[in-house]
Structure 1
Amino acid sequence: MFKKYKLTFIGVVFGAILGYLYFFYVGCESGTCKITSSPVNSTLYGALMSGLLFNIFENKPKKK
């Protein structure tokens, strides 16, 4: 399963790291931002979006 979705897993990890770094360095001053006010929300959102983006580039077998 890992070989099939390797690029997606890499994207999820990459996005989670970027999401946390965005929270850490930019964040939300007032605390009213839904995504960037919490490190958990920011990390999960980054992982989801990056995983979806990297999933586009995976080679899928063509059906006959």
Structure 2
Amino acid sequence: MKSKLKKWIRPALFILGGALAGLVYYYFVGCPSGSCSITSTPLNAMVYMGIVGWLLSIVFGNDCPGGCDM
């Protein structure tokens, strides 16, 4: 049970961090005209950046495919 929980901690933190970054980006930069598809609403920005965070968690994951015994 602990190993499954530990497996999902990094992606969850990256997703939450990405969503927070999306909200901050919307708040400070945003799209005042509303014509931008990603930053027109805070929800869109948070979802997009959350997905980017999830992808980054995959890239920066330290799971060794063949094992970490070297």
When Rg is computed on C-alpha atoms for both structures, the one with the higher figure is 2
1:14 aligned onto 2:13: no
TM-score (norm 1): 0.86
Instruction: Looking at secondary structure, tell me which structure has more helix per residue.
Output: 2
Q: Considering only aligned residues, what root-mean-square deviation do their CA atoms show, in Å?
A: 1.5
Gaps of 5+ in 2: none
Counterpart residue number, 1:38: 41
Aligned length: 63
Distance in 1, matches of 2:32 and 2:41, equals 11
Gaps of 5+ in 1: none
TM-score (norm 2): 0.79
- Runs of 4+ in structure 1 deviating by more than 4 angstroms, as ranges, are none
Contact 1:11-1:47 within 8 A present in 2 as well: yes
Q: CA deviation at 1:30?
A: 0.8
